[in-house]
């Protein structure tokens, strides 16, 4: 029987009809490969970054510094995952920089992109670049070239309004304080062959509640 490589079964969790180059606010969550705790530890409710964690922190800040079309907001590096808010900014001539929440209606958007297409300056391209930069530096440090650092996918939540934004900022700020009960804590890790699928479903369910 012909076996199709695993990579062909993978599905993107990006929205098919959403243009991720549009101005707006996004909340992203990125997990380490196999949810391994690589970036430090929580001590008395405070995240203490190790050398790898500092690299992730620096590369995220550089992501905002080297791109004119994004502004970083609240973020946190946790032992085995990362949460961050970023604003995509309209930098066209004559339009001043703004921090807007993402539009709720994309029905008439003429800038739709084909599903799965990687567009320069889009959110998927920005996240891929960030993950790649952090992976390269950490793998050089641990002398493990080619070893995956992150899970292949990531989860994003399109921030709809100011109330949504404030709620997510609060979640990020309190994340280290709630580590003992965090779904990403290895003690609560979902196990089994479908662990990643179940984890992503749980993440999706959690952030859908922000829009409720």
Flag whether pLDDT at 141 surpasses 80: yes
* Gap between the terminal Cα atoms of the chain: 46
pTM: 0.72
Q: For 163-192, give the DSSP string.
A: HHHHHHHHHHHHTGGGGGG-TTSGGG---S
Flag whether pLDDT at 75 surpasses 60: yes
Flag whether pLDDT at 210 surpasses 70: no
The closest of 95, 39, 97, 94 to 67, measured between CA atoms, is 97
Residue 112: per-residue pLDDT: 35
Separation between Cα atoms, residue 44 and residue 104, nearest integer Å: 39
The closest of 110, 208, 108 to 159, measured between CA atoms, is 208
Q: Which two tokens stand for residue 44?
A: 């008395």
Flag whether pLDDT at 69 surpasses 70: yes
Q: Which helix (H) or strand (E) holds 155?
A: strand 155-159
Flag whether pLDDT at 66 surpasses 70: yes
Q: Environment class of residue 106 by beta-carbon count within 10 Å: exposed (0-12), middle (13-18) or buried (19+)? A: middle
Arithmetic mean of pLDDT, 77-91: 91
Residue 101: per-residue pLDDT: 57
Flag whether pLDDT at 109 surpasses 50: no
What is the fold, at CATH topology level, of the domain defined by 15-103+118-211?
A: Alpha-Beta Plaits (3.30.70)
Residue 27: per-residue pLDDT: 95
Residue 143: per-residue pLDDT: 92
């Amino acid at each position: 029987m012909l076996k199709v490589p695993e990579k062909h079964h993978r599905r993107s969790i990006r929205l098919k009809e959403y243009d991720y180059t549009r101005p707006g606010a996004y909340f992203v969550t990125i997990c380490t490969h196999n949810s391994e705790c690589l970036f430090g530890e929580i001590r008395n409710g405070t995240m203490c970054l190790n050398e790898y964690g500092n690299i992730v922190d620096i590369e995220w800040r550089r992501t905002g510094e080297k791109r004119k079309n994004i502004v970083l907001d609240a973020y946190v590096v946790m032992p085995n995952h990362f949460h961050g808010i970023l604003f995509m900014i309209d930098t066209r001539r004559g339009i001043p920089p703004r921090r807007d929440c993402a539009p709720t209606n994309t029905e008439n958007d003429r800038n739709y992109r084909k599903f799965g297409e990687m567009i320069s300056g889009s959110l998927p391209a920005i996240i891929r670049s960030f993950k790649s930069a952090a992976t390269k530096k950490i793998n050089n440090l641990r002398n493990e070239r080619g070893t995956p650092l992150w899970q292949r996918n990531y989860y994003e939540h399109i921030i709809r309004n100011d109330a949504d934004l404030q709620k997510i900022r609060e979640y990020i700020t309190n994340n280290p304080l709630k580590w003992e009960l965090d779904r990403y804590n290895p003690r609560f890790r979902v196990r089994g062959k479908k662990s990643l699928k179940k984890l992503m479903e749980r993440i999706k369910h959690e952030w859908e509640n922000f829009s409720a």
